[in-house]
Amino acid sequence: MREGDVMKRNIYASLDLGANTIKLLVSEFVGERQNILFVDEIKSTGIEHGFIRDKAKVIADLQKLKGKCESFLNIKLNSIVLSLPSIELDTKTISNTVTVNHGRVKGSDIKKMFNEIYEQEIEQVSSEKRKKEVSAIIPINFSIGKNKKYVFFPLNEICREITMNANLLTLDKQVIISHITTVEEAGLHVIDIMPNVATYLYTLLSPEEMTEMSCVVDIGKTATTITILEKGVIIFSEQFSIGGNIITQAIKDELQLDFEDAEEFKLTHGVCGVGNASDEVIYEKDYGDHAPTYITEKDIAEIVEANYMEIMRIVKQYLFEVGVKTKVERFIFIGGATEVRGFLHLIKQTFGEHSTVRRPSMLGVRHPKYSSAISMHNSIYFFDSLFEENYEMVTFNKEQSQEIDEEEDEKEFI
């Protein structure tokens, strides 16, 4: 960094209204380095399988999470990018070309391409009376000039016209409306929306996975989303109402525990596969006058594996139904329900050696349940840079702003 240069600092906030939880993430990009400022989640009984069933309850939970963030960071949280569940998601490939008036590509030229696509799609949806709405436009590639030279990041390229090939994603219109209105009634302005699967392209997939047909499986507590990508393009995605809670429920029934204790038991003693478990007695069932029954780790492993295999069966069935069962080369698993001992071994046995659990590498957010949120912030940073915007999502008070500036000065000095 040259003397006198000022490194750009962008702060982004996102909300993820999942199957039954709400995640809030605030991060900053100093140059291209991402730092996590705040991350937390809250379980909301107002959300069921991604649908808002009790708006007042969700608003109260959002305000609680918002207040916690503002108190922790000593900020005012003004706006967010909203991550949406992939309910009835459809995808298609589109393209658009615009003239570059200034001889050099600017953010306004790229925004024009996006806006024209939105307008065309809105007209088409209106004329066909479809119940879907545009939820994201994800660039596949850009090409410039008469020779159609491909570029990944076209800003400042010298040319007279630019073409974009893109992935257009649509979602159920009522889902979009209900999520946006609920968040805004909680006091947060929604500056953009994005299906959670649309973020996979930015940091979740490796360069090799971007060149092949990959399957991303996001297993949450009550829902599992299966997404197929071919050479970085989303071709299929669907959400299923099954998740890690089926394992908790099975343990609850077997050990006659309440649900919260069964969940804690799963996290403490759960293991996929009898071969990964021991004969150690970990629980004693007392039947009063009868002799007690001793539950070993292997007994629990059988319950855990049997229920995870039910989720794997659904993944296989979906791949068969969309005609890609033998074509998928890599499997990437994310989501909170993947964090159980022996899970990696199970998926490698089921889907082959090119299967992995993808975890964020940053301190404080290394759990697979944050993989999608971290990737989303990288996508926000990408679009912010592409459009030459400067999203102002948070307002720091004067003292806090000075402290952060001093910290950044120290980092640069180090």
The H or E element that residue 264 is part of is helix 259-269
Establish if 325 belongs to a structural domain.
yes
Q: What is the domain-level CATH number for residue 310?
A: 3.30.420.40
What sign does the CA torsion over 314, 318, 321, 325 have? Answer: negative
The DSSP secondary-structure symbol of 347 reads H
Q: Is 250 helix (H, G, I), strand (E, B) or coil?
A: helix
Contact 246, 224 (CB under 8 A): no
Q: Dihedral, CA atoms, 191, 194, 198, 203, nearest 10 degrees?
A: 40
- Does 351 lie in the same domain as 281? yes
- Does 184 lie in the same domain as 95? no
Half-sphere CA count of 117, side-chain side, radius 13 A: 28
- Does 52 lie in the same domain as 163? no
Q: How far apart are CA 310 and CA 243, in angstroms?
A: 10
- What tokens were used for 255? 């050990």
pLDDT digits (tens, 9 = 90+) for 180-220: 999 999 999 999 999 999 988 878 999 899 999 999 999 99
- Does 198 lie in the same domain as 75? yes
Establish if 305 belongs to a structural domain.
yes
In the chain, the number of structural domains is 3
Per-residue tens of pLDDT for the chain, all 414 residues: 434 445 578 999 999 998 889 999 999 999 889 999 999 999 999 999 889 999 999 999 999 999 999 999 999 999 999 999 988 899 999 999 999 988 999 999 999 999 999 999 888 876 666 788 999 999 999 999 878 899 989 999 999 999 999 999 999 999 999 999 999 999 999 999 999 999 888 789 998 999 999 999 999 999 999 999 999 899 999 999 999 999 999 999 988 889 998 998 898 888 988 777 888 888 887 766 667 778 888 989 999 999 999 999 999 999 999 999 999 999 999 999 999 999 999 999 999 999 999 998 887 788 899 999 999 999 999 999 999 988 889 998 765 555 555 555 444 433
Contact 134, 169 (CB under 8 A): yes
Contact 325, 357 (CB under 8 A): no
What is the phi/psi pair of residue 213, to 5°?
Answer: -90, 120
Establish if 241 belongs to a structural domain.
yes
Q: Which of 126, 157, 174 lies at the terminal end of a domain, its last residue?
A: 174
- Does 279 lie in the same domain as 134? no
Give the DSSP per-residue string, 126-195.
HHHT-SEEEEEEEEEEEEETTTTEEES--TT-B-SEEEEEEEEEEEEHHHHHHHHHHHHHTT-EEEEEEE
Q: What is the CA radius of gyration of the chain?
A: 23
Establish if 1 belongs to a structural domain.
no
Q: Which of 335, 357, 379 lies at the terminal end of a domain, its last residue?
A: 357
The DSSP secondary-structure symbol of 16 reads E
Establish if 2 belongs to a structural domain.
no
Residues 6+ apart with CB under 8 A from 3: none
Q: Is 290 helix (H, G, I), strand (E, B) or coil?
A: coil
Residues 6+ apart with CB under 8 A from 163: 95, 96, 97, 142, 143, 144, 148
Contact 233, 167 (CB under 8 A): yes
- Does 193 lie in the same domain as 219? no
Q: Which of 357, 379, 405 lies at the terminal end of a domain, its last residue?
A: 357
CB atoms near residue 4 (< 10 Å): 5
- Does 133 lie in the same domain as 158? yes
Structural domain including 201 reads 9-87+176-205+365-413
- Does 350 lie in the same domain as 235? yes
- Does 217 lie in the same domain as 277? yes
